[in-house]
Amino acid sequence: MEFITMTDVEKVYPTGVTALYGLNLKIKKGDFAFIIGASGSGKSTLIKMLYREEKPTSGQIVIGGVKVEKLKNRKVYKLRRKLGIVFQDFKLLPRLTVYENVAFALEMYGLPKSEVRKKTIKAIDLVGLKDKVKNYPHELSGGEQQRVSIARAIVNAPKLLICDEPTGNLDPDTSLEIMKVLEVINNLGTTVIVVTHDRDIVNKMKKRVILLDKGRLVKDYEKGTYDKNEKC
């Protein structure tokens, strides 16, 4: 069952640069997909359109039955509540503890305190940081900070988790640990999309691999690798 469908999606920026040309892509519910390609291949544009930071110039994007490009700006928050987003630079609030960073989004939704606590502890436990709930970001390693970022992204049980270069600032061993955390989350039913330049990670995970080149989808393998001849 397709969860994400992109049909004839094209993106032309005001500068005249075309980032995507007639992209057609389907991702099933519960899939785990890597999006790879050289800088400027269209990876970032693609995922920004999934969480509606950007709109396609033409074409259609459907996520869970919602026509994303048709959403009115005031209703975009409803889409984003169903998504989790993880960035390379963690984006943690430095003056908040691990618990407070993860709980923050739920508190903004106005959920009861007991529900916030239950969901927050569950998410922190899932990423293996239950013993760090009172720590502040500066007291954590880079890998631990990224785990907090992931916990924050999944605390509201999103149907889709989008990760933009989540291991870009981490060493190889820590990067693999983060990928294993994402795999656990995927096994629980969340669709996971990871944009990465990390060839080793892609090859070790053996998940679906979607290769973009100059705005075009050129390869799509169910269980692929990042070929050494492909630019990253």
Per residue in 144-188, pLDDT (tens digit) is 999 999 999 999 999 999 999 999 889 999 999 999 999 999 999
AA identity, residue 27: I
3-state secondary structure of 56: coil
Nearest to 83 by CA among 5, 195, 191: 191
**Residue 156 pLDDT:** 92
Question: Is the overall model pTM greater than 0.85, yes or no?
Answer: yes
User: Is pLDDT above 70 for 231?
Assistant: no
For 93-137, the pLDDT digits (tens) are 999 999 999 999 899 888 899 999 999 999 999 999 999 999 999
- The amino acid sitting at 112 is P
3-state class (DSSP) for residue 212: strand
Question: For 1-82+161-232, which CATH superfamily applies?
Answer: P-loop containing nucleotide triphosphate hydrolases (3.40.50.300)
The residue type of 113 is: K
- Residue spans per domain, the chain: 1-82+161-232, 90-157
What does the alpha-carbon distance between residue 131 and residue 133 come to, in Å, rounded to a whole number? 6
Question: Which of 82 and 6 is assigned the larger pLDDT?
Answer: 6
Q: Which residues lie closer than 8 Å to 173 by C-beta, 6 or more apart?
A: none
Report the percentage of the chain scoring pLDDT > 70: 98
